[in-house]
A and B are shown apart, each in its own frame.
Chain A
């Protein structure tokens, strides 16, 4: 306790007497962490967006109608149930929804009333809408229904659209992961380097401390605390800046109503803030601890 107080007062007096370096280090942390937070928010939002689009991928299993069935009649209930069992047994499938001929007509009426107006009978087939666990599995599900079971006319998963959506999502995901890794490494190196420089400029001080009988921890303690304080202050400012960006700048740039969708959202903001602060604290303390090692060999 006594020692913590001593370290704290040493750390603060050292920040005071090296104010310009301390401010430079804090600003570096601020910039690094702001970029990191921004990228996490943006990246997770994009990932969530692509996931949402992937969720819209479904496999439609259309049954035959009297015009197309080999038997010339509607498929039997037994056939329909058999297909359902087959689909539900697949591990990739999340849920199956039956759309009767009437449901299909109603949906068609809703979308294109003119087309339906003059119909005398219902030409639309009944179908199963199969929702996969993961959007990527639509092709696999369709393949398992090949050759088509009895009573089924066609299995459709919008091959072209689905393939495009999936490959774009993959590219976006890849860019986000690589980009955020680069950014994390870059901001950590940037911060660690600033700390290195500030300690390097004080290496003679470290030597003197060792020569008058300071233990390694006695020298290291205040330096690491200084790193912690720098990291904390810098990242808190970065969080504040990010809040401002989110609440003020973003709505001004983007018309939010067009993008608002309950299913699409970035990582929760408090979590991002915790990641930012945690990263900079760790880098601040560990960075100064490691840098000091070589100067402590006196």
Chain B
């Protein structure tokens, strides 16, 4: 995913997504997100935030329009190349999506195993990234032995262990209390400062207002506002 310098990280060109039979999730959305940006995606439930996330992961196909991620046009990407795309995209979800029967270490290691990393690489990279998210002491804990905030840290560690150029977060603080959320946001902010583009869908008004970052507001599938240093509105 080496896009040419200065090229945008994400481009949506007149993207429309219609679910069967007539539910319009996204309506003619066009936007550009540059490398290194930190972007909030806000809007009420059902406004199309999650659909945008899932389109970026090629979990869904747009009904019409073009999506370009890191210089790659997703419409033209073969299904067999989708795993390659996902290895270069970190994603963090509201419900963490950890593998329940594996320890924190193994959950992060899985992201490396799928791309064929050696045991030695796994043994160095995983503790390093778990240290980064502050979980060095809980590597051998199972997900259900960890608090919500800790589970989300594991999932961020898994998303970031490959140092992807783009991190997609779908309401990462949605299930967490405000104090824990602040910790997660600080972590995402630090990741952003390493040069990783972060796109984050959220409902958290206070957080958005405080961060003063670019805010893209969606309503009923359309972009109604796109501000460089916006608030939740």
A interface residues (Cβ-Cβ under 8 A, vs B): 2-3, 6, 13-14, 17-18, 204-205, 207-215, 218, 298
Contact = CB atoms under 8 A, between A and B. Distances in A.
14 contacts: A3-B116, A14-B101, A17-B101, A204-B97, A205-B101, A208-B97, A208-B99, A211-B57, A211-B86, A211-B97, A213-B85, A213-B114, A218-B83, A218-B114
A108 to B, nearest CB: 81
B101 A212 contact: no
A214 B101 contact: no
A212 B110 contact: yes
**Which of B83, B87, B115, B158 lies at the interface centre, i.e. has the most chain A CB atoms within 10 A of its CB?**
B83
A180 B158 CA distance: 51
Interface of B: 57, 59, 80, 83-87, 91, 97-102, 110-111, 113-116, 158
B114 A209 contact: yes
B168 to A, nearest CB: 10
Given A209-B99, A212-B91, A214-B110, 4 more contacts: A18-B101, A213-B84, A214-B83, A214-B114
A139 B189 CA distance: 94
Given A213-B111, A213-B114, A205 B99 contact: yes
Contacts of B97: 204, 207-208, 211
B145 to A, nearest CB: 14
A215 B57 contact: no
Contacts of B101: 13-14, 17-18, 205
Given A212-B86, A213-B83, A298 B115 contact: no
B59 to A, nearest CB: 6
B213 to A, nearest CB: 25
Contacts of A298: 59
Contacts of A215: 80, 83, 114
Nearest to B142: A17
Nearest to A2: B116
Nearest to A9: B113
Contacts of A208: 97-99
B98 A212 contact: no
Contacts of A14: 101
B9 to A, nearest CB: 18
